[in-house]
Amino acid sequence: MSYNKFHNKQKNEPLDNIIYGRNPVLELLKAGKRTVNKILIAQTARGTAITEIINLAKNKGIAIHNVPPEKLDKYSENSQGIAAEVSPMEYTEIEELIAKAKQNKNPLLVLLDGIEDPHNLGAIIRNCVAFGADGVIIPKWRAAGVNETVSKSSAGAIEHIPVSRVVNTNQTIDLLKERGFWVAGAENGGQTLEEAKLPFPLVIIIGSEGFGLHQLTKKNCDFLISIPQKNTISSLNASCASAVILYEVSKKR
């Protein structure tokens, strides 16, 4: 995408090949997984992260453009004075994701059953990285894909974990079972995390916002797990629930 095309985009429109924010851009450069065509930095931007980004970009031979701050703020209220133009996100093939995960002790994958909010997707991916999951699986249809909003919400964590995008969730569950994974669905009424004996390799399935797991997905799980909570609220937000679950699973690994 050219500089002019970038600035002709509508305000707050998700851009698949533009990464905003200091942490996302910094993690993008540290990971080195994607090609960075150029970095736009507001002329007024200062700080340790900006300095580190400039140094990393120079070391990698990436072009840096100093621009008036309104050039960035006009198109994203959360740009923090910096944006990077990058190659599109490359999803990992599911077979490759499984093979890489199984190289680790007690493999753990997270499958998302229809998360539609990119902010939730980014937050869940950040939790996956924080608690050591080996990969994330998302559906291709009726679910959020990876874009700049996801990258910003994950604070750049998306650059540090493989993500696979699959056409059919339940066929993928069958494949995971064939490859030796146990499948646990997060659902109210399941075994509590304290009581559950979690076998590995393990897949944790997190349901969609407001609806939880689809019925067929739930049916295909080996067992269900739940978070014990008081009855004052109906359920936790999907990203909050994923953090609690992944923390407990990480202790059992």
Q: Is the pLDDT of residue 209 over 80?
A: no
More confident residue, 114 or 127: 127
Rg over alpha carbons for the chain, rounded to the nearest Å, is 19
pLDDT tens per residue across span 93-125: 999 999 999 999 999 999 999 888 999 999 999
Q: What is the pTM of this model?
A: 0.80
pLDDT tens per residue across span 140-181: 888 888 877 888 788 788 888 999 999 999 999 999 999 999
Whether the Cβ atoms of residue 66 and residue 38 lie closer than 8 Å to each other: no
Q: Which of 50-54, 75-79, 211-215 has the highest mean pLDDT?
A: 50-54
CA dihedral (160, 130, 73, 89) positive or negative: positive
Residues 6 or more apart whose Cβ sits within 8 Å of residue 19: 25, 28, 83, 84, 86, 148, 151, 152
